[in-house]
Structure 1
Amino acid sequence: MRRTVAGRLVAALGVLLAVGLLPWLTRTDPARAILHARYADREPTPEALAAIRAETGLDDGPLHTLARWAGGLLHGDFGTSWVSGLPVGPDVTGALGTSLTLMGASLLVAVVLAGALSFRTLREGARALGGARVRAGTTGAVLAALPEFLLASVLATVFAVQLGWFPAIGWGEGGTVVLPALAMGLPAGALLGRLLDDALPAAFAEPWVRTTVAHGMPPARIARHALRRVLPPLLPQFGFVVVGLTGGAVAVETLFAIPGLGGTALDAALAQDLPVLQACVLLLLVLGLAVGAVVRAARRFLIGPALDAGALPALRRPRPEPGRGTRWAAGTLAALLVAVVVAGLLRDPLHVDSAARLAAPSAAHPLGTDGLGRDVLARLGHGAARTAVTAAGVTAVTLVVGVAVGLLARWTEGLREVVNALPPVIAGLIVAGIAGPGAWGAAAAVAVVAWAPLAAHTAALYEEERAATHLEGAVALGAGRRHLLLKHVLPGVLPPVVRHAVLRVPALALALASLGFLGLGAAPPAPEWGRMLSENMPYVERAPWAVLAPAAGLASLGALAVLLGALRPRLLPRFGRGAAYERGAGDAQPAGRPGAGVP
């Protein structure tokens, strides 16, 4: 317990130190950014810049600035804004209240959608003696792959501008929370629904289901028991979504002019307003740690004494046999994506034809042109390497790091919670300040925070694997740590974590594109799918093809990821215990004290 608390404190102090050093890490003069934010038309003369440095304490150095800020916290003082000159506390606490309200509404949408996506599996699994049938769930994958700011723009255009049902911008009036909550909650709910739908078949394939069905237990009660069985390893992901809905909603908050915490932190970082940025990050870290504590308590409540008593068998997902339709759909979608990319690579993505601005699809431009007259197909094809391939590479790195860190669950729990509470954009600003803006810097910034959900998933599964009864038999037979890890632990941990990582490829592509749009990635006019969405969003009504093309690419990428996951038995090697173990036959071992000799 002490070790975990110490890890959280060290990680939180490290993040705050990095944020506090941001003005000294950036390659631009913070005094210039502050002067421009205060007086947009004032010349940055040496005298004016010197006055700014003296007023803000930049001349005193980073350690003195951090010490002064920390001393103020002890008295409940968050400091004074370098830009506005007003106290920071009222603004950031008000932004936190706004973000928490939006988070609650978005979370409601996410939970409802996750339940809807997994309802069919729950119903079939509770009624079928052989367990639920494993499906690809492409609907959830497509929804999870849709960008939040694209959903927000479409919802605002249709329901606010055209139909007039809800306000287009603002906060506080009736109905202002509906559209942003839908834009944020739908992708989050789709991800949770996919993870839940992926885990439920394992619970319904366990022997207790046959027993309860034979005794006539109602299907609804069986479904509740199955939910309780699969929720513990998924609760950390639920916590990650909760924190992400608060600090990661920068695009949605900007579009709807919502004064939330994520947008406030981004504005402060861009303006080099260090006191506001430090206060925002501190509140996000406190929120992340609080959510982590609630998740741990909920997991302990759901599991009960099973982890300590050795009565919790590890979940074994039934090995799906993909049908011809799944294989045909995956092959067709992959061939279509490859054909579009190859066709785009044969065209010039930088050629500007001012006479063909926002031209509709035609023989000359199969997918039309954008606002500058550039061929959309060309930019889509050339942007695939920068977006999809880079996202796949970052996914592979975060998968390796996430599994390695997750296996050290007792040592890294606090680090995971702290990293999750840090918005990716703030991480991007810190990394860009150290390494400079560029494609590699953007990839590193995303990788810095993207491993945390996979590490939390790994740690939750690893905890259950260590409590599985089959390990006692392996230890009794003289199995060593390496054998236990490779043949007993990893076979139960890796498959669901790999599927989880694949589901995050479109989200990582969006994160990379978002950093590029902010000037932290590859410099324009380099084609990226996310930049294509952002650049053409103002023309969505006149030229919807310019937005639909990259959005369809991201959605197709998500659907293909899930379809390939359904083909996993043919694509991924099986470890140690083979098909019988995946069907749930590997836990018929004598019960005993779990975890003996387990790494």
Structure 2
Amino acid sequence: MRAAATRSAGLLAVLAAVGLLPWLSGRDPALTVLRARSAEQEPTREALDAVRRDLGLDAGPLALLGRWAAGLGRGDLGASWVSGTEVLPSVLAGLRVSLALMGAALAVALLLTVVLVVPVLVRGRASAGAGAAMLAAVPEFLLATAGLLVCGVWLGWLPTSGWAGPEHLVLPAVALGVPAGGLLGRLVADALPAVLDERWVELWRGAGVSRARIRAAALQRVLPPLVPQFGMVAVGLTGGAVAVETVFAVPGIGRTALGAAKSQDLPLLQGAVLALLLLGLLTGAAAALVRRRLLGPALRDASLALPAPRPVRTHPAVPGVLAAVLLTAIGWGLSRDPYTVRTAARLAPPSWAHPLGTDGLGRDVLARLGHGAAATVGTAAAVCLLSLAVSLALGFLPAVAAGAADIANALPPVIVGILVAAAAGPGTGGAALAVALVSWPPLAAHAAALVQEVRASAYLTAQRAIGAPPWWILTRHVLPSVAAPVARHALLRLPGIALALASLGFLGLGARPPAPEWGLLLDESRAYVERAPWAALAPAVALALLAGLAVSGASYAQRPRTGTKARTRRMSGVGA
């Protein structure tokens, strides 16, 4: 009941925030609308008052929220402040495009999952390894930029923008589907060998059951605990679609929401964000329904744990090599000036004077790459610490955390970033807040599992029996046992948080020019990617190295450990 109440309260809070965006933005909506309708008209008091009466802003925030909520009940999302057209048709048109794109991306993801899982079914042992983990760690906007550059610009195989036919669907679907397929493939491939080693498999073999039937039963055993993860991947497609739609100029709902946020067309933004939120919630509900159907009536209330995740096999030298390359580039860049504009040297190719070339303003790309590490990775570290503190607090309130986590999981960082940018304007602080708001659920789930196991341990029972006070038990036993493994988990998520911040910067929702943030560097280089690809490749390779470092580093953090903490870590599925 408490989780359901928290879930309902969180949903109402999100809907209220969306409905009150005109007031939360801190800017005069009437002035925005007046400039959008007629840029040359003088913003006199009379003109602004007329716009406020036309939009109903003079009635106050509560009346505006009530009118918006009443309109939702009638299926009326209002009219665009900029174009004056109805919002609902625009939202439905964008939603149709996005659903088609996400359907194609999901097909690519499932196809890649099958490719990664079939060898495991044949050999009976994990074979996805570092390849699948590396694919899962590559952000969609980075893969989209690489696909556009290689397949669209250099080779000319496929169109690079628009939405005019099936050929325009290929590159966006691949950019969205490959990371999702890598994650799903790794989850299933890592879980199958443990299932195939279970006692029932040996009994079935002894009874003469065919190999194909055993493999099918193993898949049925593996899928129920993983279906929620499949739902999370599908929700992630809605967030990744915003960046991919922007890269390829696809007129989907994500690009519609981003354009509305930048132009302060708040009714259109409200409708688009509401559609994305409902899409995420429906996806989560569908995943829960599929899991119940797979379990069947007998096991419907069972809580099947994920099999123990296996470490990714990487060569011991890989983390050191990746770290050395990345730190060398950053250190070299820090010794150079990232802001000096040299118009005579704009778009210069790599040379000894400019090892990574120059950008559209003649600024040194290596210098901007080095100085951007602080903005990208440093901000990610602060977000990581904040998420760690929140998760440790919520780990002692699992019922409250579960309901809030459902809402947070339905909102990818990009969607929250759009809302925060609409309310407070784009910037590094807003991007950090957006990522922090949705990055805590996995850490909180891990903390809750640890708290539950530590509290049930025999030595704490003995402490209570000898009269140890609750505060002593909490600070000297429970919290130290929980904080260390959750902190390691948070450290493993640091590169993912950095990639999320970079994606917001890439979309123009994070750091503002001339800041040398990695996502912003990619965004700035898109206009001349055909003439000067090195400006886009430098931050792209840096992000890829960061992702690879996370994957290879996690392989050592995931090595089997003995004791209560190791068992709890396997039960909670950290690193899966």
Partner of 1:596: none
Partner of 1:192: 184
Unaligned segments of structure 1, at least 5 residues: 587-599
| From 277, 290, 307, the counterpart of 1:315 | 307
- Indicate the larger mover: 221-230 or 27-36: 221-230
Alpha-carbon deviations, 1:259-318, whole Å to 9, x = none? 2221222222333333222222322232222222221122233344447578x5773346
Partner of 2:76: 77
Partner of 2:116: 117
Q: How has the CA–CA distance of structure 1 residues 383 and 197 changed in structure 2, closer, same or farther, with 3 Å as cutoff? A: farther
Q: Structure 2: how far apart are the matches of 1:192 and 1:561?
A: 18
Q: Structure 2: how far apart are the matches of 1:498 and 1:222?
A: 39
* Counterpart code for 1:13: L
Does structure 1 retain, via aligned residues, the 8 Å contact 2:506–2:522?
no
Say which structure, 1 or 2, has more relative contact order (CA 8 Å, 6+ apart).
1
Question: Is 1:391 aligned to residue 383 of structure 2?
Answer: no
Q: How does 1:70-469 map to 2 (within 5 A)?
A: 70-124=69-123, 126=124, 132=126, 137-160=129-152, 165-171=157-163, 173-204=165-196, 206-212=198-204, 218-304=210-296, 305-306=298-299, 308=301, 315-317=307-309, 326-398=315-387, 401=390, 405=394, 410-432=399-421, 437-452=426-441, 458=446
Partner of 1:19: 18
Question: Is 1:67 aligned to residue 59 of structure 2?
Answer: no
Using the size of structure 1 for normalisation, the TM-score is: 0.80
* Counterpart code for 2:326: L
Partner of 2:574: none
Unaligned segments of structure 2, at least 5 residues: 465-469, 572-576
* Counterpart code for 1:316: A
Alpha-carbon deviations, 1:318-337, whole Å to 9, x = none? 6x5x98x6211112222222
Query: Aligned Cα RMSD in Å?
Result: 4.1
Alpha-carbon deviations, 1:467-495, whole Å to 9, x = none? x9x999979x98989999x999x999998
Partner of 1:52: 51
Q: Structure 1: how far apart are the matches of 2:20 and 2:317?
A: 53
* Counterpart code for 1:174: P
Number of residue pairs matched?
Answer: 563
Does structure 1 retain, via aligned residues, the 8 Å contact 2:350–2:357?
yes
Partner of 1:590: none
Q: Structure 2: how far apart are the matches of 1:343 and 1:164?
A: 35
Q: Describe the SS at the equivalent of 2:259.
A: helix
Q: What's the offset of the Cα at 1:51?
A: 1.9
Q: Describe the SS at the equivalent of 1:567.
A: helix
Q: How has the CA–CA distance of structure 1 residues 557 and 313 changed in structure 2, closer, same or farther, with 3 Å as cutoff? A: closer
Does structure 1 retain, via aligned residues, the 8 Å contact 2:504–2:519?
no
Q: What's the offset of the Cα at 1:376?
A: 1.7
Q: Structure 2: how far apart are the matches of 1:28 and 1:356?
A: 39
| From 570, 576, 590, the counterpart of 2:563 | 576
Does structure 2 retain, via aligned residues, the 8 Å contact 1:357–1:374?
yes
Q: What's the offset of the Cα at 1:508?
A: 2.7
Partner of 1:591: none
* Counterpart code for 1:512: L
Q: How has the CA–CA distance of structure 1 residues 422 and 559 changed in structure 2, closer, same or farther, with 3 Å as cutoff? A: same
Does structure 2 retain, via aligned residues, the 8 Å contact 1:502–1:561?
no
Q: What's the offset of the Cα at 1:162?
A: 5.8
Q: How has the CA–CA distance of structure 1 residues 31 and 531 changed in structure 2, closer, same or farther, with 3 Å as cutoff? A: same
Does structure 2 retain, via aligned residues, the 8 Å contact 1:27–1:436?
no
Does structure 2 retain, via aligned residues, the 8 Å contact 1:107–1:242?
yes
- Indicate the larger mover: 379-388 or 430-439: 430-439
* Counterpart code for 1:368: G
Q: How has the CA–CA distance of structure 1 residues 176 and 362 changed in structure 2, closer, same or farther, with 3 Å as cutoff? A: closer
Q: Describe the SS at the equivalent of 2:511.
A: coil
Q: Structure 1: how far apart are the matches of 2:395 and 2:490?
A: 14
Partner of 1:559: 548
Q: What's the offset of the Cα at 1:371?
A: 1.9
Does structure 1 retain, via aligned residues, the 8 Å contact 2:78–2:86?
yes
Q: What's the offset of the Cα at 1:537?
A: 2.0
Partner of 2:501: 512
* Counterpart code for 2:261: A
Does structure 2 retain, via aligned residues, the 8 Å contact 1:360–1:367?
yes
Q: What's the offset of the Cα at 1:443?
A: 1.0
Q: How does 1:465-544 map to 2 (within 5 A)?
A: 505-517=494-506, 520-544=509-533
- Indicate the larger mover: 379-388 or 45-54: 45-54
Q: What's the offset of the Cα at 1:105?
A: 0.8
Q: How has the CA–CA distance of structure 1 residues 565 and 204 changed in structure 2, closer, same or farther, with 3 Å as cutoff? A: farther
Using the size of structure 2 for normalisation, the TM-score is: 0.83
Q: What's the offset of the Cα at 1:56?
A: 0.8
Q: Describe the SS at the equivalent of 1:369.
A: coil
Q: How has the CA–CA distance of structure 1 residues 493 and 114 changed in structure 2, closer, same or farther, with 3 Å as cutoff? A: farther
Q: What's the offset of the Cα at 1:230?
A: 3.7
Does structure 2 retain, via aligned residues, the 8 Å contact 1:180–1:256?
yes
Identity %: 54
Q: What's the offset of the Cα at 1:520?
A: 4.5
Q: What's the offset of the Cα at 1:15?
A: 0.5
